[in-house]
Structure 1
Amino acid sequence: MGFLHKTSKQTAKLKSLLGLAVSRIAVARRPRLARKSIACSDVSQLLVLGHLNRALHRAEQVIQEDNMLEAFGIIELYCKRLIEQAEQLDKPQECGEELREAAASIMFAAGWCGDLQELLFARTILADKFGGDFAVAAKEGTGIVDPILVWKLSGSTAGMELKKKVTKEIAAENNILVDFSELPEATEDGNDMLVDFFELQEATEEGNNNVPDSQELLGEMPCQDDMDESSESDRECAHCYQL
């Protein structure tokens, strides 16, 4: 009876954490939408000025922000699914594939989203429920983790073809003609190391932004954090939430 009570309390805490994560996603979207808009505008201006290679370099920022925005949408969906079906988590061995996918995907995202600190605590609770093997597979992005989420969070954004595609889309939206045949060979090979003025300008503007950044609170999270080394710390954090 005591075990059942503990599990139910744990599930209630998980629902609370996931609800907070959903709320934080709404806040985290805003600066990323702004940065994406600025980067798109920069690409357009660079194309007008004839700086195609620099426009391609800037397009990488557009891709990065867009990937994270799409990842936020997927994470929000899985958070809501777990909240809506939370009572089933009291018997994790009986959870269906959709719920297991949601749990694994949230656990994977916890290691990549410094903006969503609640996911770290949620991961600890889910690891207790589903077990160590499930947690390891989730951390590595294998097994039942949503492959689209894995790609959006950990995939490369530096591929030349992808940057060309995004640049071409921005050019079309602004009625700008683009001729990639004029690109220098070094740019095609991904060796162009130009840093454009717009990135420096944006960095300066971000430095004056007073909006709190959760990464400042948590520190930069490594992309593939070691679940084994951090499990004790995570459990202590989860215990603090339970109190």
Structure 2
Amino acid sequence: MGFIHRKTSKQTGKLKTLLGLAVARIAAARRPRLARKCIATDDVRQLLTLGHLDRAIHRAEQVIVEDNMLEAFEMIELYCKRLIEHAAKLDKPGECTEEIRKAAAAVVFAAGWCGDLPELPFARSILADKFGSDFAEAAKDGTGIVDPMLVWKLSGDATSMELKKVIKEIAVENNIVVDFSELQEAIKDGED
């Protein structure tokens, strides 16, 4: 019995190490994403200034993608920290609170979507061992216990509402006049 308990403790220790590395890597992964977001935002501004609304819309999609990923990183970081903080409870998964199960599910789901964080697939396998294959499968699919906002940030496409919002914000910040009726038409053309 003691041998099994030690194995679980080692597994939990390894999980804590992996999640700690993922948190550190998130900090490094943010920098290039922030740079790409800034460049794409500046491109949208320049394209709007030149009157190339259709091209600005395509570039705004990149702004949204980078922004969604940055927000997903923040969420993943919080979930990783929560699991590290409550790691002792992971040795008895049946006694874990809903908050811990939600954090575990988020890490399992994110592992399939975040190539920037190579530690997560290893953490996913440990969490699958701890919580069971049914839990892991549901979490991988993003159903049930996984935070719907995280699912949307990692897997969602830019909607026309988001595109309009980003373009409006950039236009207002830079005192650029945009014909929003033309904007709506350009977005519809892009969806076809």
> Aligning the two structures, in what range does the TM-score lie when normalised by the shorter sequence?
over 0.9
Q: Distance in 1 between matches of 2:112 and 2:185?
A: 37
Change beyond 3 A, Cα 1:22–1:146:
same
Q: Distance in 1 between matches of 2:182 and 2:30?
A: 36
1:52-82 CA-partner distances (Å, limit 9, x unpaired): 1111111000000000000000000000000
Aligned residue number for residue 161 of structure 1 = 161
Aligned residue number for residue 111 of structure 1 = 112
Shift in Å at residue 189 of structure 1?
3.3
Matching residue's letter, 1:92? P
Q: Does the CA contact (< 8 Å) of 2:54 and 2:186 recur in 1?
A: no
Q: Distance in 1 between matches of 2:102 and 2:135?
A: 11
Matching residue's letter, 1:123? R
Question: Post-superposition, which runs of at least 4 consecutive aligned residues in structure 1 deviate over 6 A?
Answer: none
Identity of aligned residues (%): 74
Extract unaligned runs of 5+ from structure 2: none
Query: Secondary structure of 1:4's match?
Result: helix
Matching residue's letter, 1:178? V
Q: Distance in 2 between matches of 1:185 and 1:16?
A: 50
Q: Distance in 1 between matches of 2:36 and 2:174?
A: 18
Does residue 29 (structure 1) correspond to residue 53 (structure 2)? The answer is no
1:76-125 CA-partner distances (Å, limit 9, x unpaired): 00000000010000000000000000000000000000000000000000
Aligned residue number for residue 77 of structure 1 = 78
Shift in Å at residue 183 of structure 1?
4.5
Q: Distance in 2 between matches of 1:189 and 1:174?
A: 25
Extract unaligned runs of 5+ from structure 1: 193-243
Shift in Å at residue 184 of structure 1?
8.3
Matching residue's letter, 1:167? I
1:1-243 aligned within 5 A: 1-157=2-158, 159-183=159-183, 185=185, 187-191=187-191
Q: Does the CA contact (< 8 Å) of 2:164 and 2:183 recur in 1?
A: no
Q: Does the CA contact (< 8 Å) of 2:69 and 2:154 recur in 1?
A: yes
The range that moved more, 48-57 or 105-114, is 48-57
What number of residue pairs does the alignment pair up?
A: 191
Matching residue's letter, 1:139? K
How high is the TM-score relative to the length of structure 1?
Answer: 0.76
